[in-house]
Amino acid sequence: MPKLDLRAYDFKVYVTGPFQAGKTTLIHTLDPDAISIEREMREAYRGEKGTTTTGFDLGRVIWVRKDESHDGLIVPKKEFEREASEYEGWIVKEIELRGVPGQLHFKFVRDTMRSNTDGVLMVVDSSDYGMIGDASAILAETIASFGEIPLEVIANKQDRDDAASPEEVATWLGVDRATGTCAKEQESAKNALIRLLRKVEAFSNAVEAETGTSTSVPSS
Ligand SMILES: Nc1nc2c(ncn2[C@@H]2O[C@H](COP(=O)(O)OP(=O)(O)O)[C@@H](O)[C@H]2O)c(=O)[nH]1
Ligand SMILES: [Mg+2]
């Protein structure tokens, strides 16, 4: 019997990366109606006084394409709902964007938010080489916890003069490639997401071909 799946979206994208890398910015650029929760958390468990900020972000966008060969467009969900008639006959996929807190010691929080993930955006600040230790740790954690999953490394803040190139950022992390972005710019943010979504789709088609089961819910 097929598993009952009550997800309200087609693909869930987990947005991770170190604190201050640009995760919240990216999600709000993609969906101006995204919700973010920034909370001061007490670090009592470490025996320390003081607080640290943790952030969750939740955005919803629609990936619309004329056909499967078309890269398509990313439209914020609310905007799509107003203009749905313009996309009649297009392939419509609803995407949930879930930003998780980046501090290493919040691994337990990231773990609780991993369920049903279809793809991962790993955001890194290209202008902050000092963050590379945290970025490598989060990348290793991501690979260890998700196993084989579509993943796109984002070399963010490419608009800054002191930003390393995406190729350099990829070298820092020991990955094949990274996509350069400015998370504040819509085209840049959308292109990075589309790159990941194409991988997600290829991956889910391959799984489907192999097992005869779908990893995603058809859009209604
Ligand atoms: N110049 C530049 N600043 C960015 C970019 N993305 C994010 N920022 C800034 O970096 C800081 C941290 O961003 P935020 O999205 O809160 O990071 P998070 O901790 O990963 O959610 C904020 O001051 C953002 O305005 C970018 O692409 N370029
Ligand atoms: Mg944030």
- Residue 75 pLDDT greater than 60, yes or no: yes
Instruction: Give the integer Cα–Cα distance in Å for 94 and 82.
Output: 15
Instruction: Give the integer Cα–Cα distance in Å for 87 and 79.
Output: 12
> What would the pLDDT profile of 158-202 be if each residue is shown by its tens digit?
999 999 999 999 999 999 999 999 999 999 999 999 999 999 999
Tokens for 130? Answer: 């000092």
Q: Domains in the chain and their CATH numbers?
A: 11-210 (3.40.50.300)
Q: How far is the CA of 54 from the centre of ligand 2 (A)?
A: 7
- Residue 5 pLDDT greater than 70, yes or no: no
Ligand 1: residues with CB < 6 A are 17, 19-25, 55, 102, 156-157, 159-160, 182-184
- Residue 4 pLDDT greater than 60, yes or no: no
The overall average pLDDT reported for the chain is 89
- Find the ligand nearest to 57 CA: 2
Go through 198-216 and write b for each residue having 16 or more CB atoms within 10 A of its CB, e for each that does not: bbbbebbeeeeeeeeeebb
Give the per-residue pLDDT at 217: 46
Residue nearest (by alpha carbon) to ligand 1 atom 12: 20
- Find the ligand nearest to 155 CA: 1
Tokens for 2? Answer: 């097929």
